[in-house]
Structure 1
Amino acid sequence: MSSRPATLPPQDNATTALYRAALGPVGAPYYLRVFGRFDEVGLPGPAWNTMAACFTLGWLIYRRLWGAAFSYAVLLLALGAALWFEVGPWTAWSAELRWSAALGLVAVFWLLPGFYANVLLHGELRRRMTEAVRQAATVQQAREQLAAQASGPGLLGLLVFLYLVLGSAAAGWWWQQSRGRPMPPVAPVVSAPVVAEPAPAAVVAPPAVTAPPAAVPEPDPVKAEPVKAEPVNAEPAKPEAGDAIRVRVHGHGVAVGMFADPANARRAEARLRDAGLPVLVDPVESSRGTLTRVRVGPLDDRAAADAAARQIRALGLDARVYGP
C-alpha cells in the first residue's frame, strides 16, 4: 500500500502556478495565502491590504486594474476641483461640519481599498487565468502568457519615484502656504468702551479789589464785581495710538484671524482691502502677548456675511461668520 504524497493535488498545483505567474515577482507569497483562503472557502471576503489602502492609485496601476484606476482618478480629480474652486453645497456648511466630512472621505478612501482590494484583484486574476488557459495548449504556455502580462520591478520603481516627486511637491506647497497663514481665530472679547472722565470746568477767580492808599483818598470808590466764569465743556480724552482697545462691532461680520506677527496682519489687511471688503483691525491682549485681530464688517445680514466669507476663503484666508 503506497503512501499518499504530502503535496497538493495536481489541479491545486496548477492553480497556484497560474496565480504566481499572473501576480509577478512582487508580493506573490502574501497574495497566494489570501487567494488560497478565498478558494478554500469558495467566496472572497474582506482582507486587509496595507499597500492598497495607503497607495491606492499606484497599487491599481501596478496590478493593471485599469478600469478601477481610471474611476478612482476621476473621483479624486472631481473632489479636488470641488475643494479648490469651492463648488458644491458644502460651501454653506460650518467649518466643523466641513472638517468632519473631510475626515469621513479620507476614511472611506482609505478603508474601502484596504479591505476590498484583494477581492477586486482576485476576481480579475481569475478572469485572466481562465482566458489564458482557454487560449493556450498547455498549462506552461498559459503561465508564460500570464507572466508576460504581469507587472515587474521596473513599473514599481517608476511608481515609487512618481510618489516621491508628488509628495515632495505637495509638502513644499503646504509649507509655503503655512508661512503666511494666520493663527486660528479667537472668540472676540467684549469689553466696555474706554470713556475719559470729563475735565472739571475751569473757574476764573474774581480780580482782587485793591484799597486806595490812605494818603490819596478816593471820594467815591467803585467796587469791582466778580467776573463769572464761563463753563468749559471738556471733550473725552482720546486714547493714544499704542493703547490696546477692543472694538465691539454690532451686526454681522467675518473673523479672519488673530495674528502674532504684525507683518502677516498687514498683508492680510491689504489683501482684504484690495478685494473691496470693509476691514477692521484692532489689537487684543492675550496670554501669548498682544495679537492683531483682523475682521471684515460690519455687514447688513447673515447672507452678506456668508458671501464675504466665501470671497475671503477664495483669497486663501480663514473665515468664520459671526452675528449679533
Structure 2
Amino acid sequence: MASEPVNPLATGVTAELYKAAIGPEGQDYYLRHFLKFDADGKTSATWHWPAYWATFGWLVFRKMWSRALVYAVALLGLALMIFGVGKLAFSYSDATALMLFLLFLTVAFVLPGLYANAWYYTDCSKKISAALRNAATVKEACEALSGQASTRRRMAGVAAVNAAALALVAGGVNFVQDFGQGGVPLAQTKLDAPAAGDLAVAAQPALAVVSMAVPEVQTQPASAPVTGISASASAASPAVTEELTTKVALSPASLTPMPPEPVRMAVTNTDKPVSTTAQDKPVVSVASAGTDEKPKATNATHKWFVQVGAFAKDVNAQNVRTKVEAIGLPSAAEPSDTPAGRLIRVRAGPFDSKGEAEKAALQIKALELPAVLVRQ
C-alpha cells in the first residue's frame, strides 16, 4: 500500500484519511477544500478567516511547527527593523514607522489568509503518507492520524499561549521604540546644552580679575574720585575686559546693572540693537560710575521695551515690524546714527511692567527673532 498514490481521486478511503488527519474541528470545511484540490490536481488561493485573524495561533493549533517558527521570526525581525535599525538609519517619523508596520502586518496576515488551506492540505498529505508507510492497514493509519489531530482542548491551550506571545511582541516593540526615541535626543541635548552653564563658568575668571583689581582702587587718595575700574587693571588685562563684555552681551539678564562691592559697576546698554543682518552686531560696554554718584531713584514712569534688531535697510526693518505686529504686539522703528552708519532700530512696546515685556520677548523669540529687554 505504501507504493500507491497518497491521495488518488476523491474516494471513500481518501476521505476517511483526510477526516482522521484533520480531526473534529473544522472537518467538513477542510475536507471540501481538500477534495477540490485533488480534483483540480493542484492547490490554489482560497480565503481562510481564522488564519487571517490569528495566523500564528492557527499554525500552532494545526501543528505546522516549521511554518509557525518562520512566521514568528519574520514578524519579530521586521518589527525590529522598522522600529529599531530602520528608524535610526533613516530617521523617519513615528507616524511613518507606524504606517510601515501596519503595511507589513497587512501583508503578513493577508498571505496566510489566502494560502492557509493550501498549506494545511500539503501538511496533511505528508502526515497521511507517513501514516500509511508505518501502518499495516488503512484503519491503523486512521487511528494514528486521529491521535495526532487537533482537538478543542488544544485550541484553548493555544489561545492562552498566543495571547502571551502577542504581549511579548508588544513589549519588545515598545522597548525598541523607547530606545530609539531616548538615545538620539540625549546626544542632541548634550550638543545644545552648553548655553547657560558654560557661560556662567566662563564668566567666573573675568569676575575674579575684577575683584582682584578692587584693592588698587581703594589705595587712591580720598580726594581723587573713583571713576571705575583702575587703569592698571584695564591695561593689564584687556583680553579679560573684552571677554567679560562678550559674555555679558550673550545673556539678556546680564543687562541689569550689578555693581560689585566696594566699587560700583554699571553695565549699560548703548542701545546698539541686535540685528539679524551680518553687519549689525550688538554692542554692550562696561561703564564705570564714580564714587560720588548715587543710583538714580526708580522712575515710576519708565517703560519696558523689547529690542528686536537694527537694520541698515528700511525694508528689513519693516519686515520685522510686520512680523511683530502680526502677533498683536505694538512696534516702532527709530533711526539712529552710529559709527557704522545710519541704522533703523526696531522695538516692541512700550510695556508697563517687566513681566509683560518678558512675555512679549517669548512671543518674539518664537518667531526666531532676537529679543532683548530694554528699560527707558
**Whole-Å separation in 1 of the counterparts to 2:148 and 2:169:** 33
**Whole-Å separation in 2 of the counterparts to 1:128 and 1:234:** 84
Seen in structure 2, the aligned counterparts of structure 1 residues 97 and 58 have a Cα distance that, compared at 3 Å, is same
- The answer to whether the Cα contact below 8 Å between 1:22 and 1:150 also exists between their aligned partners in 2 is yes
Seen in structure 2, the aligned counterparts of structure 1 residues 11 and 100 have a Cα distance that, compared at 3 Å, is closer
Is 2:370 the partner of 1:248?
no
Is 2:155 the partner of 1:156?
yes
Q: Which blocks of at least 5 consecutive residues in structure 2 are unaligned?
A: 1-7, 178-319, 335-346, 370-376
SS at match of 1:137: coil
Partner of 1:145: 144
For residues 6-54 of structure 1, the C-alpha deviation after alignment (integer angstroms, 9 at most, x for no partner) is: xxx9961111111111111211111011111111111110011111111
For residues 229-254 of structure 1, the C-alpha deviation after alignment (integer angstroms, 9 at most, x for no partner) is: xxxx997436356678361238xxxx
> Which one-letter code corresponds to 1:125 in the other structure?
C
For residues 102-157 of structure 1, the C-alpha deviation after alignment (integer angstroms, 9 at most, x for no partner) is: 33212211110000111111111111111111221111000011111122222210
Seen in structure 2, the aligned counterparts of structure 1 residues 134 and 192 have a Cα distance that, compared at 3 Å, is same
Is 2:56 the partner of 1:57?
yes
**Whole-Å separation in 1 of the counterparts to 2:83 and 2:99:** 18
**Whole-Å separation in 2 of the counterparts to 1:234 and 1:89:** 43
For residues 188-212 of structure 1, the C-alpha deviation after alignment (integer angstroms, 9 at most, x for no partner) is: xx98225545699xxxxxxxxxxxx
**Whole-Å separation in 2 of the counterparts to 1:234 and 1:109:** 59
Cα RMSD for the two superposed structures: 4.0
**Normalization by structure 1: what TM-score?**
0.51
Partner of 1:33: 32
> Which one-letter code corresponds to 1:192 in the other structure?
K
Partner of 1:192: 323
Aligned residues: 197
Partner of 2:200: none
Q: Which blocks of at least 5 consecutive residues in structure 1 are unaligned?
A: 1-8, 178-189, 201-232, 251-324
**Whole-Å separation in 2 of the counterparts to 1:28 and 1:136:** 23
Deviation at 1:92, TM superposition (A): 3.2
Partner of 1:81: 80
**Whole-Å separation in 1 of the counterparts to 2:171 and 2:93:** 28
Partner of 1:47: 46
Deviation at 1:162, TM superposition (A): 3.3
> Which one-letter code corresponds to 2:58 in the other structure?
W
- The answer to whether the Cα contact below 8 Å between 1:199 and 1:234 also exists between their aligned partners in 2 is no
Seen in structure 2, the aligned counterparts of structure 1 residues 97 and 106 have a Cα distance that, compared at 3 Å, is same
Seen in structure 2, the aligned counterparts of structure 1 residues 22 and 38 have a Cα distance that, compared at 3 Å, is same
Seen in structure 2, the aligned counterparts of structure 1 residues 168 and 126 have a Cα distance that, compared at 3 Å, is closer
SS at match of 2:45: coil
**Whole-Å separation in 1 of the counterparts to 2:98 and 2:168:** 23
- The answer to whether the Cα contact below 8 Å between 2:87 and 2:97 also exists between their aligned partners in 1 is no
**Whole-Å separation in 2 of the counterparts to 1:129 and 1:173:** 39
**Whole-Å separation in 2 of the counterparts to 1:104 and 1:36:** 34
Partner of 2:128: 129
Identity of aligned residues (%): 31
Deviation at 1:83, TM superposition (A): 4.0
Seen in structure 2, the aligned counterparts of structure 1 residues 56 and 132 have a Cα distance that, compared at 3 Å, is same
* 1:81-100 matched pairs, under 5 angstroms: 81-87=80-86, 91-93=90-92, 97-100=96-99
- The answer to whether the Cα contact below 8 Å between 1:18 and 1:129 also exists between their aligned partners in 2 is yes
Seen in structure 2, the aligned counterparts of structure 1 residues 111 and 90 have a Cα distance that, compared at 3 Å, is farther
Seen in structure 2, the aligned counterparts of structure 1 residues 61 and 90 have a Cα distance that, compared at 3 Å, is farther
**Whole-Å separation in 1 of the counterparts to 2:26 and 2:55:** 15
Moved over 2 A (4+): 79-104, 161-174, 193-200, 233-246
Partner of 1:304: none
Higher relative contact order (CA 8 A, sep 6+): 1
**Normalization by structure 2: what TM-score?**
0.44
> Which one-letter code corresponds to 1:24 in the other structure?
G
